[in-house]
C-alpha cells in the first residue's frame, strides 16, 4: 500500500507517517513547509530507518500534484495539508477559504484523473458547532462553526459527501480530531507552532522550558466542575494509529463517513496545568484571564464508532501524553530550529 500524505511533515502528518512506515506501508510526502519543517522529514526517516519520496510542493498547484501521481503509484491519500490557526482564520478568512478549499479540491481532482479512489481527511470536532449535546456522536448534524477555519473543515466534509454520492468508486473517511497533544516518545518529532502558540499544551511547554513567563488561563467562570474549559485530549500517536486503521477499513470496502477521534474523557485547563507541573517538575505560573471568544465550555467525543467499526483503542493516558510532549519540548525548546 502506497499512501500520499499531503502536509505529511506537519504535527499529525509526521506522526502518522511514522506509524504507516512502521507497519510496512510505503509513503510519499507532499508539503510546502509553510507551517512545518523539512527536518521533520529527516526525523521520520531516522525513527523508522526507512526512505520515501518527499516533494516540496504546494498542493494547490495542480501541475505539481499531477506530477506526484504520475511518478508514484498511489493507493490512498491522507489529506492533512491546510491552514489551521483558528484566531488567524478570523482575521484573514479569504486566505483560509482559498487555501483549504483549493488544496482539497485540487488533490481530489488530481486523484480522480489518476484513478485513485480512497481519501482520508483531517477534519475536526469543531464541525459539530455549539448546539449539539455532549458527548458528540457522528450521527449528530454539523453545526455553525465558531471560526472560518472550522467552516473550511465542514465545507470540505460536505464536498466529500457530494463527491462520494456522485462517484460510487470514491470512498472518503472523515476523521474528526478532538485535542491531539503529545509527541513521539523518541523526542525527535513533535508540535512546533510558529510564533505565539494558540493551543494550551505548546503554550504550557514553552512556559515550562522558560521561553514564556506565565500561562494565561482563558476563563474560570464556565459551567464546568472547576470553572475552566474541559477538552478531550488524545495522544497524537493514538490519533496516528487511527489513520492506519482507517486505511485498512477502506481496503476492506468500508463505507464513507465520519469518525470521532477522542479519548471519550474530559480534562479541565486546571487539571492539565496540575498534571504538567507534576510531570515536568516546573512551577508553570498561571494567571486567570477573561474567556477567549468562541471557546465552548466542554468538548468531549463519543468514540464508540471508531472503537467498534475501526477497532481503534486509544491507549495512552494523560500523564504519559504530557511526559512524551515534555521529552520533545525539553530537547527542542525552539522546535525544529534547535
Ligand atoms: N487555553 C488557555 N490558555 C492558552 C491556550 C488555551 O487557557 O494559552 C484554553 C482554551 O481557552 C481552551 C483550552 O485551553 O479552553 C484548550 O484550548 P486549545 O486552543 O488547546 O484547544 P481548542 O480551543 O481547539 O479546544
What CA–CA distance (Å, rounded) separates 197 from 154?
A: 24
* Across 312-337, average pLDDT: 96
Mutate which of 12, 130, 231, 325 for ligand 1? The one with the most ligand atoms within 8 Å of its CB, which is 231
Q: Does the pLDDT of residue 17 top 80, yes or no?
A: yes
The atom of ligand 1 lying closest to the CA of 181 is 20
Q: CA-to-CA distance for 274 and 200, rounded, in angstroms?
A: 13
pLDDT digits (tens, 9 = 90+) for 193-202: 888 999 999 9
pLDDT at residue 337 is higher than 90: no
Beta partners for residue 119, in sequence order: 77, 172
Question: Which atom of ligand 1 is closest in space to residue 299's alpha carbon?
Answer: 25
Residues 6+ apart with CB under 8 A from 65: 30, 57, 59, 106, 107, 110
Beta bridge partners of 175: 122, 259
Geometric angle at alpha carbon 307, from 116 and 322, rounded to 5°? 100
Average pLDDT over residues 292-306: 94
**pLDDT of the residue at 166:** 97
| Predicted confidence band of residue 41 (pLDDT cuts 50, 70, 90) | very high
Residue 91: is it exposed, middle or buried by C-beta count within 10 angstroms (0-12/13-18/19+)? Answer: exposed
CB–CB of 230/297 below 8 Å? yes
Distance 253 CA to ligand 1 centre (A): 38
56-67 core/surface letters (b: 16 or more CB in 10 A; e: else): ebbbbeeebbee
Active site annotation includes 149: yes
User: What single DSSP character describes residue 144?
Assistant: -
Q: What is the pLDDT of residue 84?
A: 95
Model pTM score: 0.97
d(CA 265, CA 299): 9
| Residue 300 alpha carbon to ligand 1 centre in Å | 14
Per-residue pLDDT at 167 exceeds 80:
yes
pLDDT surpasses 80 at 288: yes
User: What DSSP string describes 75-99?
Assistant: SEEEE--S---HHHHHHSHHHHHHH
CA distances to 102, 208, 270 from 204, rounded to whole Å, are: 34, 6, 11
183-227, pLDDT tens digit by residue? 999 999 999 988 899 999 999 999 999 999 999 999 999 999 999
Confidence of residue 294 (pLDDT cuts 50, 70, 90): confident
For position 9, what pLDDT does the model report?
Answer: 98
> Which one from 33, 128, 136, 149 is the annotated catalytic residue?
149
Pick the residue whose CA is nearest to atom 19 on ligand 1: 199
Ligand 1, residue 230: give the atom nearest the CA. 15
The ligand 1 atom nearest the CA atom of 217:
7
Pocket test for ligand 1, best of 236, 295, 298 (most atoms within 8 A of CB): 295
CA of 71 to the centre of ligand 1 (A): 42
User: CA 83 → CA 63, 193, 260, distances in Å?
Assistant: 21, 12, 21
Residue bearing the CA closest to ligand 1, atom 1: 200
Q: Which residues line ligand 1 at a C-beta cut-off of 6 Å?
A: 179, 198-200, 203, 215-218, 229, 231, 269, 292, 295, 299
Q: What is the pLDDT of residue 171?
A: 98
Position 194 scores a pLDDT of 87
- Contact by Cβ (8 Å): 201, 207: no
Give the DSSP H or E segment for 200.
Answer: helix 200-208
Which of 218, 286, 321 has most ligand 1 atoms within 8 Å of its beta carbon, as the pocket-test mutant?
218
Q: pLDDT tens digit string along 130-163?
A: 899 999 999 999 999 989 999 999 999 999 999 9
User: Taking 80 as the threshold, does the pLDDT of residue 287 lie above it?
Assistant: yes
Amino acid at each position: 500500500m502506497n499512501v500520499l500524505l499531503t502536509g505529511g511533515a506537519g504535527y499529525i502528518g509526521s506522526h502518522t507517517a511514522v506509524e504507516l512506515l512502521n507497519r510496512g506501508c510505503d509513503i510519499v510526502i507532499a508539503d510546502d513547509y509553510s507551517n512545518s519543517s523539512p527536518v521533520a522529514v529527516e526525523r521520520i526517516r531516522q525513527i523508522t530507518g526507512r526512505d520515501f519520496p518527499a516533494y516540496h510542493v504546494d498542493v494547490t498547484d495542480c501541475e505539481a500534484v499531477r506530477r506526484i501521481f504520475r511518478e508514484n503509484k498511489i493507493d490512498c491519500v491522507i489529506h492533512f495539508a491546510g491552514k489551521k490557526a483558528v484566531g488567524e482564520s478570523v482575521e484573514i478568512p479569504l486566505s483560509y477559504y482559498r487555501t483549504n478549499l483549493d488544496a482539497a479540491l485540487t488533490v481530489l481532482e488530481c486523484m480522480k484523473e489518476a484513478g485513485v479512489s480512497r481519501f482520508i481527511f483531517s477534519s475536526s470536532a469543531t464541525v459539530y458547532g455549539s448546539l449539539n449535546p455532549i458527548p458528540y456522536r457522528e450521527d449528530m448534524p454539523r453545526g455553525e462553526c465558531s471560526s472560518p477555519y472550522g467552516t473550511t473543515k465542514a465545507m470540505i466534509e460536505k464536498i466529500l459527501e457530494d463527491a462520494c454520492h456522485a462517484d460510487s468508486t470514491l470512498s472518503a473517511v472523515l476523521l474528526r480530531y478532538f485535542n491531539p497533544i503529545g509527541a513521539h516518545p523518541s523526542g525527535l518529532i513533535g508540535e512546533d507552532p510558529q510564533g505565539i502558540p494558540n493551543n494550551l499544551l505548546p503554550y504550557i511547554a514553552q512556559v515550562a522550558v522558560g521561553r514564556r513567563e506565565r500561562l494565561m488561563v482563558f476563563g474560570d467562570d464556565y459551567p464546568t466542575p472547576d470553572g475552566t474549559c474541559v477538552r478531550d485530549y488524545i495522544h497524537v500517536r493514538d490519533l496516528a494509529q487511527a489513520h492506519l486503521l482507517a486505511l485498512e477499513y477502506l481496503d476492506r470496502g468500508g463505507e464513507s463517513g465520519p469518525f470521532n477521534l477522542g479519548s471519550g474523557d474530559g480534562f479541565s485547563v486546571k487539571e492539565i496545568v496540575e498534571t504538567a507541573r507534576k510531570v515536568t517538575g516546573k512551577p508553570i505560573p498561571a494567571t486567570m484571564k477573561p474567556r477567549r471568544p468562541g471557546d465552548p465550555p466542554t468538548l468531549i467525543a463519543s468514540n464508540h464508532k471508531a472503537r467498534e467499526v475501526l477497532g481503534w483503542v486509544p491507549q495512552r493516558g494523560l500523564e504519559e501524553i504530557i511526559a512524551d510532549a515534555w521529552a520533545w519540548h525539553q530537547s527542542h525548546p525552539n522546535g525544529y530550529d534547535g
